Chain A
């Protein structure tokens, strides 16, 4: 008995040594939030179909519109227009599920190839224009909900800019890329920079001596890349590719712009937005949200496993080093200026096009016409827009307060507390970045709107504001968590132990030593989180549709780009809204980077 008591004392003391009461309370709050907004809704979306699942439903999922075999339509159409031939690349409709998978796999493949190439070139070669290209390459990552996809359509779609360009060259034939093929091209342009930044980060972390050793043993060129460089940067490549796969599956913008109805994301949204009977949500739709979730989780688990196996790639760090950079040979120069540069430049066109839409009177011909500020003036008169903007600012601000509290506590716990279960917390807190927002939104709808909680204050049919705000906090919190975590990694633990040793409690140390040292990281991360709350799409559209008076601005943009025949009736107005958020992002990212550059680590060495 005394033995057990002694053992218990040891365990509780070890725990309270690392977490005192105020810290534990804040941690409890964060865990509750994660449980209510992430774990329970996602469980609900996985469990709901289980009750009413039958063979009929499963068989139904194998028939139209979920799977259509043989595929409908044509892969490529060649039309003779007299003076020239028109080649329309479009791909066949294979049904909702195969379409989604085909698009996601193809986009991931292309994005990975381009992202790795660009990252390698920009990391390892020194050439005029490199630093500009490094910045331009991340422009496609600026979030311009929906409108950038319409610009992509303008570039490649029916009688688009590509069509007109080839026509004017008088080649005798011209091209349109539409339908599923168009979605693939548009999403590749949108998403390859995700692979690029993850791979670049990996490449810059590789100890140069690892590559120098390989060269020293006789490897060079492609062999060096294939045998050492690429394997060592695989964690970054895999992480980037996984994100692209998930983002592609839940993207709404490109399928809307290229008029593809049969993909999972659009089917889910159609079942909620503008539907008369949301309450009788079909089992099939819940299943689709579940499929999205399961595919995302599989990627997540696979990558986590893979990356953890390869931790050694970065272990050999000792001291500082200069990343390896070399002068490109003539062949590499040709690759840089004839392939890499054009890819980067073309990929930023959709973001530029958003601004063009916002400031032009009309853009029906290949080139826009008439500079105007009318669209912005109209925003100020449009009560939908003003209401949406006001809602978004309020939700994002409240979410931000929650994020600052919970992210700081989670980052601190993950980086400092050595107790079983911390690993789970780490995964829980960072996974929302890679979990499909549509699945989370549908989970929230099912759990709080279609169950016993119907009619309570959290019922999203009455008050979507509460769930939207909490969903923002959970989905966009990881940006702050990561920034704070990075800061904590630079604060040597001895700085805190010195405080505890001199008699201060954990909470006092957190307030007087840790927060002053990582405060800038908190601010920088919070700025980024705020901006991404303002531009959040999935939960905003799904939950906002349940009570449009409480809908945020991204829902208004969705309404405007889908209104009218074929969509895009209010595209100029939508572009003006998105341009505002674009400006907000550029400002936030600039400020955040400026702050984080002053990150300092101090040890008495």
Chain B
């Protein structure tokens, strides 16, 4: 069990800046997830921690020891690769035993530890098979077993579920969490799937274009996104353009969106006259009967109703011509062309400068 700290790590590939002053601190025993779209630098960050890449600037510490220039094999991290990287010429047993052999354990000790790992991951009976003879889920488990059997300080998981089908993915991710809890091993997890990130992580670091944008619990990141990128990357949201026209005494900003006034909160410094984006999550608006003329209550006409499974998606055209998408419970019956009134709690209206201004 160890803690991991990155300080201002920058990495270039030629002229391309893959990592831009990345800093974060992973505490002992937590599952820390690097989340972001492809090409954001999350895998590179993981490879810097594993020692496959040496950063041009900054430092990497494991348990307070500077490992920036340490060889991968001197770090005692264990990585599970996206494609599992199981050696096709070795049996399941030999794959799992490899790290133990390298560490010079006795034959009996290797046997004992491998069978412990096989037991833990439900792989008993498969030890003499070759990787090609295993299903995708089993290969995944062998890769995980091979990583944890050496009792690494840090477990590094690089999109470990992306090659599994949707159902298996949910099951295996629950297993990963339960094994991690059982062993208490510090884990850094890389994924582009926000649902996966939110369901397994203690904390999430959202990355974009080589930078860390926000670090927080899943709850914080989802409900209080640091900028427009995260607000639109996490979950499904409506994004409207408007101009700040005032600020109430209770701290709510008033934004004019083509004639309609939206009341909401902002984490950023915005001023009267600023062009801003108003972000409203699809699940935020409520259909109401009363509350006429209250703030954040809008009249609209239903233009499209579609079932998306767990909810019904309704597209409502507002009086100013903007369309708002909202999710309502499947029980409520709504027809196209129907007129209705919706209310958005000001806490669910987030106001951001556009991303260009942030840069």
- B-binding residues in A (CB < 8 A): 9-10, 13-14, 16-17, 492, 494-495, 497-505, 508, 512-513, 516-517, 600, 602-605
Which B residues are CB-close (under 8 A) to A498? 79, 81, 85, 87, 146
A236 to chain B, nearest CB (A): 29
- Interface residues as binary, B144-181 with A (CB distance below 8 Å gives 1, 0 otherwise): 00110010000000000001000000000000000000
CB-contact partner of B73 in A9, A503, A517, under 8 A? A503
Q: Are the C-beta atoms of A508 and B86 separated by less than 8 Å?
A: no
Given the interface pairs A9-B69, A604-B139, the reply to whether A14 lies near B54 with Cβ below 8 Å is: yes
Q: Is B184's beta carbon under 8 Å from chain A?
A: no
Q: Are the C-beta atoms of B150 and A502 separated by less than 8 Å?
A: yes
Q: Are the C-beta atoms of B71 and A604 separated by less than 8 Å?
A: no
Q: Are the C-beta atoms of B131 and A602 separated by less than 8 Å?
A: yes
Given the interface pairs A502-B98, A503-B73, the reply to whether A516 lies near B89 with Cβ below 8 Å is: yes
Q: Is B44's beta carbon under 8 Å from chain A?
A: no
> Given A504-B102, A505-B71, 10 other A-B contacts at CB below 8 A?
A17-B71, A494-B81, A502-B78, A503-B99, A503-B102, A505-B73, A512-B98, A603-B84, A604-B86, A605-B163
Q: Are the C-beta atoms of A504 and B73 separated by less than 8 Å?
A: yes
Q: Are the C-beta atoms of A501 and B78 separated by less than 8 Å?
A: yes
Which residue of chain A is the closest to B99 with respect to CB atoms?
A: A502
Which A residues are CB-close (under 8 A) to B83? 492, 494, 603-605
- A-binding residues in B (CB < 8 A): 50-52, 54, 56, 69, 71-73, 76-79, 81-89, 98-99, 102-103, 131-132, 136, 139-140, 143, 146-147, 150, 163
Residue of A17, A499, A508, A604 ringed by the most chain B CB atoms within 10 A: A604
Majority DSSP secondary structure for residues of A touching B: helix
CA distance A604 to B146 in the complex (A): 15
Which A residues are CB-close (under 8 A) to B98? 499, 502, 504, 512
Q: Are the C-beta atoms of B102 and A604 separated by less than 8 Å?
A: no
Q: Are the C-beta atoms of A502 and B136 separated by less than 8 Å?
A: no
Q: Are the C-beta atoms of A10 and B56 separated by less than 8 Å?
A: yes
CB-contact partner of A501 in B50, B89, B139, under 8 A? B50
Q: Are the C-beta atoms of A602 and B132 separated by less than 8 Å?
A: yes
Would you list 7 pairs from A and B whose C-beta atoms are within 8 A, ordered by A residue?
Answer: A9-B69, A498-B85, A498-B87, A502-B150, A602-B88, A603-B83, A604-B143
B165 to chain A, nearest CB (A): 12
Residue of A9, A16, A602 ringed by the most chain B CB atoms within 10 A: A602
CA distance A517 to B81 in the complex (A): 19
CA distance A505 to B71 in the complex (A): 9
B291 to chain A, nearest CB (A): 53
Q: Are the C-beta atoms of B136 and A501 separated by less than 8 Å?
A: no
CA distance A9 to B70 in the complex (A): 11
A3 to chain B, nearest CB (A): 11
CA distance A536 to B17 in the complex (A): 50
Q: Are the C-beta atoms of A495 and B85 separated by less than 8 Å?
A: yes
B135 to chain A, nearest CB (A): 10
Given the interface pairs A503-B99, A504-B102, the reply to whether A604 lies near B72 with Cβ below 8 Å is: no
Which B residues are CB-close (under 8 A) to A9? 69
Which residue of chain A is the closest to B81 with respect to CB atoms?
A: A494
Which A residues are CB-close (under 8 A) to B139? 604
Q: Are the C-beta atoms of B54 and A17 separated by less than 8 Å?
A: yes
Which B residues are CB-close (under 8 A) to A513? 87, 89
Which residue of chain A is the closest to B69 with respect to CB atoms?
A: A13
10 cross-chain pairs, A with B, having the tightest CB-CB distances, nearest first: A502-B99, A604-B84, A494-B85, A602-B88, A498-B85, A503-B102, A13-B69, A494-B81, A503-B73, A603-B83
Q: Are the C-beta atoms of A501 and B73 separated by less than 8 Å?
A: yes
Q: Are the C-beta atoms of B73 and A497 separated by less than 8 Å?
A: no
B312 to chain A, nearest CB (A): 36
CA distance A224 to B50 in the complex (A): 50
Which residue of chain B is the closest to A605 with respect to CB atoms?
A: B163
Which A residues are CB-close (under 8 A) to B50? 497, 501
A75 to chain B, nearest CB (A): 57
